[in-house]
Amino acid sequence: MADVLVIEDDANIRDVVVYQLEAAGHRVRIAADGVAALEAFRAAEPALVILDLMLPRLPGLDVLRVIRRESDSPVIVLSARGREADKLAGFELGADDYVTKPFAMRELLARVEAALRRRTLTPVDAANEPPLIDIDDDAHIVRLRGERVQLTPKEFELLSYLVRHPNQVCSRDMILDSVWGYSYPGETRTVDVHMHWLRQKVEDDPANPRHLVTVRHYGYKFVPVPEEAPRTRRATSA
């Protein structure tokens, strides 16, 4: 679940997008023009923005320029402008993705989830430091404090699954079903073995893990920032 800002002046499109995002579990704010969009963005600090380009009062590209100057929140452009020049202009100003109208709602939702998975978390007092864990699901790349970590495919899938569910306790059966594609009690040892290997690569002290935490007799959870560490904020596009 994430906070999403939908900036769209067409009420019909806006209502459909908002309905589908809320059905997917997200919290949604709306804005119908460029000026209201920037006010809503600054008030909400959303995890992701869906932005139309043809807006009243202030054009969408100007809105994008300001958002990118002030934040690293992912921005998905949703526009009827489908020319290559329009897409290049959006990407050059910092858009993370570009969807042309008319569009399939399932595709938009998939792009939203992909952008949210690429979010990273950084300490508030170290905003200029590389994030602890930066996962690019599309490229299958993991970076730990800016340094690339070599993981096996299953280690990558295991880490990606846990990072997408921060602070949520995931049972071994849930992990087996989601990562391995099956659930059988006799195979839960597989999860433990892969977790052991994964901790060797991403924990500073694998014997006393701070982020890949065991929940006794049940499973595991990913803790982005331990309780004794500084609070966190979203920095970019788990």
Model confidence at 212, pLDDT cuts 50, 70, 90, reads very high
Structure-derived torsion over alpha carbons of residues 136, 137, 143, 144, reported in degrees to the nearest 10: 120
Q: Which residue has the higher pLDDT, 207 or 94?
A: 207
Q: What is the pLDDT of residue 13?
A: 95
Give the Cα separation of 30 and 78 in Å (integer).
Answer: 14
Phi/psi class of residue 145: alpha, beta or left (left: φ > 0; alpha: ψ in -120 to 50)? left
Residue 232 reports pLDDT greater than 70:
no
Q: What is the pLDDT of residue 235?
A: 40
What CATH number is attached to the domain comprising 162? 1.10.10.10
Domain match, 91 and 52 both: yes
Model confidence at 89, pLDDT cuts 50, 70, 90, reads confident
Q: What is the mean pLDDT of residues 173-199?
A: 80
Q: What is the pLDDT of residue 122?
A: 37
Helix (H) or strand (E) holding 224: none
Give the Cα separation of 162 and 126 in Å (integer).
Answer: 24
Mapping DSSP to helix (H, G, I), strand (E, B) and coil, where does residue 86 land?
A: helix
Domain match, 104 and 53 both: yes
Of 77, 93, 117, which closes a domain?
A: 117
Residue 62 reports pLDDT greater than 70:
yes
Is 5 within 8 Å of 34 (Cβ atoms)?
no
How many other CB atoms are found less than 10 A from the CB of residue 223? 15
For residue range 94-149, what is the model confidence (pLDDT) as tens digits?
888 899 998 999 989 988 988 887 654 434 444 445 567 888 777 778 888 778 88
Q: What are phi and psi of 10, to 5 degrees?
A: -80, 110
Q: How far is CA 165 from the centre of its chain?
A: 11
Of 89, 117, 145, which closes a domain?
A: 117
Q: What is the pLDDT of residue 78?
A: 93
Domain match, 131 and 230 both: yes
Q: What is the pLDDT of residue 101?
A: 92
Domain around 81: 3-117
Q: Total structural domains in the chain?
A: 2
* pTM of the predicted model as reported, rounded to 2 decimal places: 0.54
Q: What is the pLDDT of residue 227?
A: 45
Q: Which residue has the higher pLDDT, 25 or 126?
A: 25
Domain match, 176 and 69 both: no
Domain match, 150 and 221 both: yes
